[in-house]
Structure 1
Amino acid sequence: MTTPTRRKHHITDWDPEDREAWDNGNAAIARRNLIWSVICEHVGFSVWSLFSVLALFMGPQYGISLDQKFVIAATATFVGACLRIPYTQATARFGGRNWAIFSAVVLVVPTVMLLVLMLNPGEFGFGWFLLVAALTGLGGGNFASSMTNINAFFPQRMKGWALGLNAAGGNIGVPAVQLVGLLVISLASDRPEIVCAVYLVLLALAGLGAALFMDNLDHQTSSGKAMVDCLKYRDTWLISVLYVGTFGSFIGFGFAFSQVLNISFTASGDPKPALAAAQIAWLGPLLGSLSRPVGGRLADKVGGGRVTMWCFAAMVASSAILVAAGTVSDSNGKQITGGVLTAFVVGFILLFLISGVANGSVYKIIPAVFEAKAQANRGLNAFGKVTWSRSMSGALIGIAGAFGGLGGVAINLVLRASYQSSKSATIAFWVFLAFYVVAGVITWWFYARGEKRTSSAEEDVTTTSSAVGVA
């Protein structure tokens, strides 16, 4: 059994595929690191998503227009997406525990700055909000480092579950901060700084927990070279496109849903549109987060390609609900009736729920693809195959995560353009529907139709036969 040194929290010769060591203590070590990785990533996601809540507090006194709110959300999403590339390398360079501590502590800076902005409405211009939004993007980078770290702790047979659970715990940070916002709006609608204060405390707890309970591995294999090598494979680009449709949908709608609801409730004549929006906005991200490990578990059983393909088909149907509701509203002079509002809520909730399942299933495809390639490479010995597969999987986690975040940017910009051009979101809904059709076809052709399961007494691994040896 491999055990960490108590003072240095450093583990050497970690081999998650060693069943005897796993059953005799390594499983407990992996679970402990998973728990605190989830907590740190969770708080990071919440800080990243702060503007999705605080936008509801930002009335005319702040001097920020509707268009500018969408740009602020897109800025936070964009920076978070871009930082996923260097954050993927961070665990190999600094250690998973060390980087978890740093990534929690550094988020104190934008949280304090945002607290100051909210305490002084009208004193700071649009540029200041953009700057702070960009700094909250540091929380979005946490996902890549956390996923790469956990990927190294768990054996191949459990990666779908472990990565799905880790990602879900982080994603729940989106509805969590929205629930905090709802509570503050309900009890103290003129005190948005309370939301920031809550997360200053949680950041301190996350950093302390990481310092006390997490460990560094001596063979984290993510590297810049692996990322460059990873880009040579066609699967990298295809899986990144799929992740734009899954995680991109989750985080993009996570930032935009409350604003779309606020606009819709205002148009419907609700006397308190911000409160009405806050009461619903958290539900979609929560369901999307909870469904993510379900997607990983399903993918472990029947294949990541199949699960992802059916998810995109369901997302096409959910988008059709939004298109139909938007078309009805547009034909009635942009009036938002109770039926149209209900259809908007149902369509978005379904998109959140299904994108969560697809998030988990796509992350099962990633290690399966490179495991299959490694096993087909006769030039590698057994250890070399494990090391190469883990390194490439970690690299693709960062690359796909970055592309997924950029998908969230696109959602906010497409919605902004749609409202600017037609005073409604219907055009944006058509764009989303078309993209899900394309993503579904890609999934079917490259991953679902050639997918098969292989089982043994030791493990049940999903492989993608069509991906083996394909560059």
Structure 2
Amino acid sequence: MTVARKGKRWIEEWDPEDAAFWAGGGERIARRNLWFSVLSEHIGFSVWSLWSVMVLFMGPEYGVDPAGKFFLVAIPTLVGGVLRVPYTFAVARFGGRNWTVMSAALLLVPTVAAAFVITPGTSYTTFMVVAALTGVGGGNFASSMTNINAFFPLHRKGWALGLNAGGGNIGVPVVQLLGLLVIGTAGAAHPRIVLGVYLPLIVLAALCAALFMDNLAPVTNDTGAAKEAARDPQTWIMSLLYIGTFGSFIGYSFAFGLVLQNQFARTPLQAASLTFIGPLLGSLVRPVGGWLADRFGGARITLGTFAAMAVATGVVIAASVRESLPVFLVGFIALFVLSGLGNGSTYKMIPAVFHAKAVSRGLAGEAAAAYGRRLSGAAMGLIGAVGALGGLGINLAFRQAFATAGSGTPAFVSFLACYALCAAVTWVVYLRPTAPEPAATDEAQRPAYAEV
């Protein structure tokens, strides 16, 4: 299938690193595309996290035990993570605006399907299949971030990507707030009200993308860049760090309500009244993480974030052992806030890391910027996919912990080890001082990662 790359919604020339171009209208176009990208991604995240809300409506009459519910909320994470790879390449294949329309419209499929099956007596297999369909909402993140990455200059990417991702992430607490509202007013027997609210919003997102977004003709798929990014160790190092930040955010977002119900015996209404707080705060601070990374360097912010997440996890473990809900909430919500900051800083690091590599190879100016855009755009899909799979790991760890120990404490211990590893990797790879090598050639020079 060949997509025509000319027409009213196609921009033939795009050079955001040119200050005159940027000031002469480029910034206005980029911002317009950013706002409508945020809307579509926001709805995508809400659909992706739909079953973290649906399980709160599933009482004993559904016949699904706690382990089964943890697996239900894990399935969308797996599918969404896998879909992020093809979604990344879809932007160049179809155009950012065109793919946003298509990907938004696809959200109707899992939403309508959930409305048909969410009733007692439905088989667990059917629930798993329909929950898996919501993974398309997770795929939206990769295409949205790849698209917006192409619109903005390097010195504004942290802010733009942070805002795009943060606005999308807020879709998680919004659908959870809606679930709370429905449970608190209509009762736990009416989950279809939540689904009914989202159907027109999905249509609105698709229409807005069609009317107000643009395609960038210069953005094309580069198979060579994808292979080069897959072979580059930096792609996999950044994937590990993104598991620690975004994997934590999405995994905790999906599991929070179930942890409260099973570890602290909260009712669905009580759990729903608390679950939205962490994802909301984590989403709001993601742009702050990107802004801090723009100002102080993504590696520095990321290292501090992982260190603080380790401390917060220690608080959660202590509260879990002592069965102290107030202290548990303080520690758990701190994890959400810190993971949000880390989301912003790690995503800012991706284009900066590859730009630093270009400079270390003797490139400068537009040549260095072009190399960074080429490799970072290809790497983002892989990094986003692997990072999302961290959420799968979190939910499976909770499932195993509750099945064997009746508590989430063993899972939190494993998370603490993960944050310690991520902090160590960040320091060793990006911040540890190294002695200069006078005889090193340009190709052998160590990139100045401390500034990424």
Q: Calculate the TM-score normalised by the size of structure 2.
A: 0.93
Alignment CA distance shift 1:212-1:71 (3 Å)? same
CA distance, structure 2, for counterparts of residue 450 and residue 286 of structure 1: 37
Could you tell me which amino acid in structure 2 is paired with residue 438 of structure 1? Answer: L
1:165 to 160, 163, 166: 163
Q: Output the CA distance in 1 between the equivalents of 2:418 and 2:150.
A: 33
SS in 1 for 2:288: helix
Deviations 1:12-54 (A, max 9, x none): 1100011112112111100000000000000000000000111
| Map 1:252-271 → 2, pairs under 5 A | 252-266=251-265
Q: Counterparts of 1:113 and 1:197 in 2: how far apart (Å)?
A: 12
- 1:208 is displaced (CA, Å) by 0.2
Give how far 1:264 is off: 3.2
State the one-letter code of the partner of 1:199. Y
Partner of 2:47: 47
Shift of the alpha carbon at 1:177?
Answer: 0.4
Q: How big is the shift at 1:388?
A: 2.5
Which of 268, 274, 282 pairs up with 1:274? 268
* In the alignment, structure 1 residue 88 sits paired with structure 2 residue 82: no
- What is the Cα deviation at residue 376 of structure 1? 3.1
Correspondence for 1:208: 207
The one of 397, 405, 424 aligned to 1:441: 424
Kindly indicate whether the alpha-carbon contact (under 8 Å) linking 1:221 and 1:390 is maintained by their aligned counterparts in 2: no
- Amino acid in structure 2 at the alignment position of 1:276: Q
SS in structure 2 opposite 1:55? helix
Q: Which residue of 2 aligns with 1:305?
A: 299
Matched, 1:359 2:343: yes
Cα distance in 1 between the residues matched to 2:103 and 2:433: 40
CA contact (8 A) 2:158 2:347 kept: yes
CA distance in 1, matches of 2:229, 2:178: 40
- Work out whether residues 372 and 467 of structure 1, in 8 Å CA contact, stay in contact via their aligned partners in 2: no
SS in 2 for 1:231: helix
Q: Write out per-residue CA displacement over residues 171-230 of structure 1, whole angstroms, 9 at most, x where no aligned residue.
A: 001001001111111111121101011111110000000000000001114444322211
Q: Aligned residue for 2:372?
A: 389
Which amino acid in the other structure matches residue 200 of structure 1? Answer: L
Ranges in structure 1 where 5+ consecutive residues have no aligned partner: 330-339, 452-462
Q: In the TM superposition, what is the alpha-carbon distance from 1:265 to its structure 2 partner? A: 3.9
Contact 2:66–2:262 (CA under 8 A) maintained in structure 1:
no
2:400 is equivalent to residue 406 of structure 1: no
- RMSD value over aligned CA atoms? 1.8
Deviation at 1:321?
Answer: 0.8
Q: Counterparts in 2 of 1:66-105, with a 5 A limit?
A: 66-105=66-105
C-alpha distance in 1, partners of 2:195/2:240?
Answer: 34
Residue deviations 1:249-281 (CA, integer Å, cap 9, x gap): 000001000111122342xxx5xx111111110
Tell me if the contact between 1:221 and 1:391 (Cα under 8 Å) persists in the aligned partners: no
Matched, 1:370 2:345: no
Residue 83 of structure 2 aligns with an amino acid whose one-letter code is: L
- Could you tell me whether the CA contact under 8 Å between 2:36 and 2:213 is conserved in 1? yes
Task: For 1:58, give the aligned amino acid.
Answer: M
Per the alignment, residue 456 of structure 1 pairs with none
Cα deviation for residue 138 of structure 1 reads 0.4
1:437 and 1:382 map into 2 onto residues whose CA distance is 37
Which residue matches 2:330?
346
- C-alpha contact 2:431 2:449 (8 A) present in aligned 1: no
Contact 1:160/1:360 (CA < 8 Å) preserved in 2? yes
| Offset, 1:115 | 0.7
Q: CA deviation at 1:242?
A: 0.4
User: How much has 1:390 moved relative to structure 2?
Assistant: 0.8
The DSSP-based 3-state class of the residue aligned with 1:109 is helix
One-letter amino acid of the counterpart of residue 312, structure 2: S
Aligned to 2:440: none
Equivalent residue letter for 1:38: V
Q: Is the 8 A contact 1:151 1:159 kept in 2?
A: yes
What is the match of residue 332 of structure 1? none
Equivalent residue, structure 2, for 1:24: 24
Residue 292 of structure 1 contacts residue 359 of structure 1 at CA under 8 Å; is this kept in 2?
yes
User: Aligned with 1:191: secondary structure?
Assistant: coil
The answer for the alignment partner of 1:314 in structure 2 is 308
Q: Please say if residues 244 and 403 of structure 1, whose CA atoms lie closer than 8 Å, have aligned partners that are also in contact.
A: yes
Aligned to 1:335: none
Q: Is 1:113 the counterpart of 2:97 in the alignment?
A: no
Residue type of the partner of 1:43?
Answer: I
Structure 1 CA distance for aligned equivalents of residues 135 and 222 of structure 2 = 22
Kept after mapping to 1: 8 A contact 2:260/2:271: yes
- Of 121, 124, 127 in structure 1, the residue corresponding to residue 125 of structure 2 is 127
Q: Is the 8 A contact 1:450 1:466 kept in 2?
A: no
Partners of 1:354 and 1:72 in 2: how far apart?
26
TM-score by length of 1: 0.89
For residue 404 of structure 1, what is the amino acid of its counterpart?
A: G
Shift of 1:387: 2.8
Seq. identity, % = 53
- Per the TM alignment, residue 466 of structure 1 is displaced from its structure 2 partner at its CA by 4.5
